[in-house]
Structure 1
Amino acid sequence: MSSDVEGRFHIVDVSSITSRPQRATLLTADGVRIEAVYEPCTRGVTDTAVVLAHGFTGSADRPAVRRAAEALAEHAAVVTFSFRGHGRSGGRSTVGDREVLDLTAAVCWARKLGHARVATVGFSMGGSIVLRHAALERDTGGHTDAVAAVSAPARWYYRGTPSMRRVHWVITRPMGRLVGRYGLRTRIHHQDWDPVPLSPVEAVPLIAPTPLLVVHGDRDPYFPVDHPRMLAEAGACELWLERGMGHAENAAGEELLHRLGDWLTRR
């Protein structure tokens, strides 16, 4: 795996904006086809679009992602997509490395559709990716104007909880990758990272002056609260520690989603 993110992206099968959701296939800079969905704001025309990055084993059509998109669409237009190796997208998951290219393609599509302002929100693996994207794409056409990371890890290779030890088994073992493909509908790359990509905590200091929000539940079974605190200490950001919340989009309640939508559209 490589963390090289140079190059341009291409878009194919892009539909014009209507009042209904539009589906497209995006082509990333390294040639991976990514399924994406555009949903106009349900409360009128807006110049802001929110690009939603799902967690590991998620996809654009998973119920928790659709629920989050519907809530955010009350505040802005929303682009959802499936990372490589997930859903109907091509390629294989690199679990946070080259997925930055997928997010860049989605952000650029939102701008191509006429949105002057684009914000990103990511959950779990998607949270680590929006942080890295905000740092790496800060001065390009694929940049974000505000970023929120929900339930994101601060550092790589964390195995301190039973949940994360299971995730690492799925990612690193041949049998685990079979379970990922056929049980979790996620195709995982068999190669190790080479080189190891910029970590989320290393990315945070590079994001300013872009507004940054870190959100984390105090009952997260994957990443304990030292992860969001480490991210908050690494650079300028706002931190929300949510009482009673578990992990990622599955645990994000309606009230939190609407607070996120308000934050993303007002920063």
Structure 2
Amino acid sequence: MSRARIATALATLGLVLGVSACGNDSGGGADKDGAAGAGSSATPKARAVQDAYRKTVAADSARMTVTSEAVTEGQKVTAHGNGVVDLKDGASTMTVTSQGNRIEQRVVDGVLYQKPSGSRRAELPGGKSWMRIDLKRLARSGSAGRTDASDPAEPIGYVKSVRPGDVTRIGEETVDGAATTHYRVTVPVSALAKGDTAQAQELSRQLGSTKLPVDLWLDDQGRMRQESVRMSLKPLAQRTPGKENTRVTSTTVLKFSDFGTDVEVTPPAAADTADVTDKLVKSGGSTAQSG
């Protein structure tokens, strides 16, 4: 796969994983938003899905794993991460490996810190070892949908926008030893853009749809144990003038376990970080190398 294709696929993985915190900023009104669309007309399956965000956040914290795969022109780019997350305030720490590179990642107060390895570390100035990325400012700039910088826990908030008619109950299944109920839901693309109309329109153009299919597995307490998001997008940039480029198909699976586990996340020392937010805004969001 060419470096340009790798950059496109990596940015797509970032888009799937999300770009803002799952806690107070995106879900501070969990009790209100988590029941969006609920009411006397809501079916039991719709209520289960609508309540999933609130019940998952109420667990306080969890271990999480994220596995993502992006495919274009028959070639794959994969990423796998594992760590812990504070479900209430969105703080998380995770180690992500992709294409032979290992990245240590922390999210604190809406700021993403990444400690890259290999050649990526050489991009940092003055012997710094951590990148600092203000996810809120990145989102406001309109670059969020094109970045491979992401908060891995963001997708749990997607279900807040699900409506009763968009829920299908698939059946009972076991996920990592836990009994769960599998649901398939249709999420409006606007849920990914978090109220940013321009970004929602851009995502809809890339997807060719205003809705996104998402699979959920809820345990017997109504908490999210697994979520799978699949997308097929047009390239983030037209690499070959006059020729329609191959779409990028991506699948991301997010899993939660060990609810209530201890989580302590602190930002790296300021002296060891380099803020690259402005660079990302100017470059349209991508930290992936291209060429």
Taking structure 2 as the reference length, the TM-score comes to 0.28
Bigger strand fraction: 2
Greater radius of gyration (CA):
2
Q: Which has the higher contact order (CA 8 A, sep 6+)?
A: 2
